[in-house]
Amino acid sequence: MSTYHQLRVLIVCGTALVLAACGTDEPADAPPAAAAEAPAGDGAYDSASTATTATAGMSESPSIAEQIDGLWMYTGLTTSDGTDLPLTGVFLFKDGVFLQQAVFDSEPFDSAGAMAHAGPVTPEPETGSVHLVAEQTIGIAPGEEPALSFRASTEHDVTVSREGDALTLVFSMGTGTVQELRYVGPGEGQLYALENGALAFVDGHFILVAGDANGATTGYGTFEEADDALALNVIRWAETDAAGTRNLKDTVMSASFEGGVLELGDGRRFPTL
């Protein structure tokens, strides 16, 4: 089965794309980054009431929080049935919140599936796991009808294991998808809530997860800042709306971040809360 149809199977089974519920899931690899300070803006991420609970959980279980906190890049992903699904993507744990974005390494690239998630995370020290609530569960499958699968507030229990700079997450409490990640940095920078998602500028990287049932814009990469102007060096980007779907990689986008609003060069705006 192609990764394209594996992605669709996950959507049809009604689970988050990162979960191994139907015997099918995802993997990855990603590059390092240049250092850059987070653009100045108003308001750190604190929009969801569940994020407050997640932060409280962090203080009660520093050992798990210390294991997961920071910016990570995928190095591998294996489904519950042992299938490797190469992808390129990123995972951030910061301030009781997680962001995830990835695009499958399938060809042609324009038809590659993508996924993105954002929401609060709560450590569960009794079980050596974390509880994720994906307030945005986004799946994009170009060529399918509909191309967008969106769900709100999907919940996942994930076991955690760290050895040095390697982090292993196993979904469904150790019986589902195995996701392997490489440490990039401590997640130093700013995390912002959006009306339908989240935005981060950390460790010289940006991560954007924004969407609802009508459309989604997701991506990550490094960034360079000059005054309020930004150059977004896109590593992977996937978006879909009524006009269609689009995947991008290894390209540069112009943008600005002023007054707490990310504005892309094409005029699209993402106000922070």
| pTM for the whole structure | 0.83
The range of the structural domain enclosing residue 225 comes to 189-271
Do 198 and 189 contact (CB within 8 A), yes or no?
A: no
Residue 38: the pLDDT is: 75
CA angle 36, 273, 54 (to 5 degrees): 85
pLDDT > 60? residue 16: no
Band of residue 48 on the pLDDT scale cut at 50, 70, 90 = very low
Query: Rounded mean pLDDT of the chain?
Result: 84
* Residue 29 located in a structural domain: no
Q: Is 199 found in the same domain as 123?
A: no
Residue matched to tokens 């299938």: 83
Q: Of the residues 150, 185, 220, which one is the last residue of a structural domain?
A: 185
pLDDT of residue 174: 80
pLDDT of residue 175: 86
Question: What is the CA 81 to chain-centroid distance, rounded?
Answer: 23
Q: What is the pLDDT of residue 21?
A: 31
Q: What is the pLDDT of residue 46?
A: 54
Q: Which residue did the predictor score with more confidence, 32 or 113?
A: 113
Q: Which residue has the tokens 């760290």?
A: 162
Let me know whether 126 and 60 are in one domain. Answer: yes
> Which of 162, 185, 208 is a domain's end point?
185
Is the domain of 151 the same as that of 57?
A: yes
Q: Give the Cα separation of 261 and 122 in Å (integer).
A: 28
pLDDT of residue 221: 98
At 203-242, the pLDDT tens digits run 999 999 999 999 999 999 999 998 879 999 999 999 999 8
- Domain count for the chain, please give it: 2
Whether 35 is covered by a domain: the verdict is no
pLDDT digit string, tens, across residues 85-95: 999 999 999 99
Q: What is the pLDDT of residues 135-161, one digit of tens each?
A: 999 999 999 999 999 999 899 999 999
- Could you tell me the CATH number of the domain that includes residue 119? 2.40.128.280
What single letter denotes the amino acid at residue 70?
Answer: G
**Between 118 and 6, the higher pLDDT residue:** 118
Whether residue 117 is found in the same domain as residue 153: yes
